[in-house]
Amino acid sequence: MPDLSDASRGQPIRGSGAVLLMLGGIVAAFGVAPCCGLPLTLATLGLGTAWLGRFALLAAPHRLGLLVAATACLVTAAVLLWRQRATVCAPGAICTRPVVRGVTAIGLLVGVALLYLGYAYA
């Protein structure tokens, strides 16, 4: 059995781009949502929302830029995730684990929900 640890050095891990873009999209969407949508949702769940006030004050002047950045990151991550599922992994190649693809898909859904809350309730 070939040792893949030596062959994979210097090569980027497949799927890391989608994960990083998904995380960037969630962070940007979180910056848009703390003014109105996220406190409403968290209060519905019975969670305190006083700590979101500072985030809302910091993010309010940059709302449009955060909306654009979150949308771009989440759409690009979704395209990369779709391309990973569409391509067949060649034998001996470094492939994304199904768990990473699943977590990325769940993260994309969370990011889209935060983006919707930030856009709809602001």
Q: What is the pLDDT of residues 32-63, one digit of tens each?
A: 888 777 888 888 888 887 888 888 888 888 88
Q: Would you say residue 5 has pLDDT above 50? A: no
Cα(42)–Cα(48) distance, integer angstroms:
7
DSSP state of 46: T
Residue-wise pLDDT for 83-121, tens only, equals 877 666 666 656 677 788 888 899 999 999 988 888 887
pTM for the full predicted model: 0.73
Nearest-angstrom CA–CA distance, 79 and 27: 19
Residues 6-30, mean pLDDT to the nearest whole number = 73
Q: Tokens for 62, please give them.
A: 């940059």
End-to-end CA distance of the chain: 57
